[in-house]
Structure formats: C-alpha cells, structure tokens
Structure 1
Amino acid sequence: MSIPAESLSHPAVRDFVAAVNAGDRNAFADVLTPNATMSDDGSERDLYQWAEQEIFSAHGRMDVESEEPGGLVLVARYSNDTWGAMRTAWQFTITDDEKISRFETGQA
C-alpha cells in the first residue's frame, strides 16, 4: 500500500513527490535550492539533466511505500517508461528555508 504524496510528513518532500508524479517541471524546480545536487546509486549526476531523462521525458512516478520519522528518508516504488518499476530509496537534505538542497536515490 502506498502513502499518498499529500500525506507525507515533510512539506518539501511532499511537494517534491507531488511534482514528480504530476510531471510538473516548475513545481519540481520550486522545491529545490538554486544549487541543489543529487546522486543516483552513489554517482553524482547533473540534477536537471537527470530529472529530464529519468522523470519528465520518461513519465516518472513515485509510489511511496514508507517514510522514516521526520519524512526525509523514503522507500518508494519508482517507475518510468525507460526502466519500468523498481524499489528505490530516497534521502533528502533540507535547508532552513525548507528547500531541498540535495537528494540521493538508488535501488533499495
């Protein structure tokens, strides 16, 4: 059973998941700091290039299975048109102004 995006604990993470699932590039960018970074399976990636390829152009979707207390660590079934579905882990770093400055994802 998945957790709806609107039920996630942390507002920035909630907005991130909602933006991914809606395919909303502007909402996605709005929740990130200007210099946000990310890694995928331990490899640093260009965040916006990765997002375009893995989320927006490939119709990415996160079905959150669980979240750690505080809501900054998720396990989600991630699917897109390129790779199909896989179980993934997501960890978020949040700034004082409630923006995501970094996220790390990879297979769970």
Structure 2
Amino acid sequence: MGETLPKYDVFQAIADPTRRKLLHLLGDGELPVTVISVQFPMSRTAVSKHLRVLAEAGLVKDRKVGRETRYRLEAEPLRELQQWLAYFERYWDNKLAALKQYVEEENN
C-alpha cells in the first residue's frame, strides 16, 4: 500500500501561535511535556494536543523515558516553509531597495 499523508502540513501546524511558541521552546533542546506545559496558560492536555499536531506534521518527535514523554524539534520540514518564503523575498528586497533610494534622494 502507499504511504499515508500526514494529517497536518507544516503550514497548518505553524498557523497557531501556541504551536509556534512550542517550536521555539523545543529549539533549545528536548523537553518533557511537564516542563513544556507550565509555559502555557492552558491544561497539559491542551498542550499535548498542540504537540500532537506538530508531531503529525513531522515538526516534533517524542520518546518515552520511563513514565515521561519528551519532545524534540525536527526542523527539516521547516525547509518547505523556508523555500516558500524565499520566493517572496524578492518583493521585500525590491521594496527595501526602493525605500533606500527614496531616503537617499530626500537627503540630497
């Protein structure tokens, strides 16, 4: 049988500010869910649901250590996002170049 597609893609996963904060926290290293959950004004169950979305998008991996579940960032799927944003950088670069030119002309 064929490979099943993830339930969530990277874009859906990072759309939520809580999940973006989770990724930021995990960027510093692996953390247990108990430590992660105290960083948010929501229940541990709610944090776990956000972590599940990130895991289904391939952005985090979990592992059991005794009775504890630890999560770590998997940054590779973010490359898709980086490539998508890179396309639009030329528009930002053009706007910044035009602004620079305008400011320099005003100062002369």
TM-score normalised to the size of structure 1?
Answer: 0.29
In terms of Rg, which structure is larger? 2
Q: Which has a greater percent of strand? A: 1
Q: Which has a greater percent of helix? A: 2
